[in-house]
Amino acid sequence: MEQQLKTAWNGVMDARSNPLRRSTLMTAHMVMQVLAWMWSAIFSVALGSYFVFGITVVGHMLVVAGLVITVAVFRQAELDGERD
């Protein structure tokens, strides 16, 4: 069970195994933001509250943006390390 959760998590969140790994960072970021918006809408409809939609959209956008910024910083650090 734990291995299945790790595999599922990596399939979405790990840039090395994510199907978007062949895309540019900007394209992958846009697609992840659209997916986050979609899931926010799904959860809001499931809960029956449009108020929840606004909160979940903002929350998802912050999480995805944070992940993309982190990946960009890590990639830049790797490039800087290769130059030394």
pLDDT at position 57 is 81
**Domain around 48:** 23-83
Evaluate whether residue 28 is within a structural domain. Answer: yes
Evaluate whether residue 62 is within a structural domain. Answer: yes
pLDDT, averaged across the chain: 77
Count of structural domains, the chain: 1
Evaluate whether residue 13 is within a structural domain. Answer: no
CA-wise closest residue to 41 among 28, 30, 50, 32: 50
pLDDT in tens, 10-53: 766 676 777 777 778 778 778 888 888 888 788 777 777 777 77
Evaluate whether residue 50 is within a structural domain. Answer: yes
Evaluate whether residue 17 is within a structural domain. Answer: no
DSSP label of 20: G
Q: Distance between terminal CA atoms of the chain?
A: 42
pLDDT at position 84 is 58
Evaluate whether residue 5 is within a structural domain. Answer: no
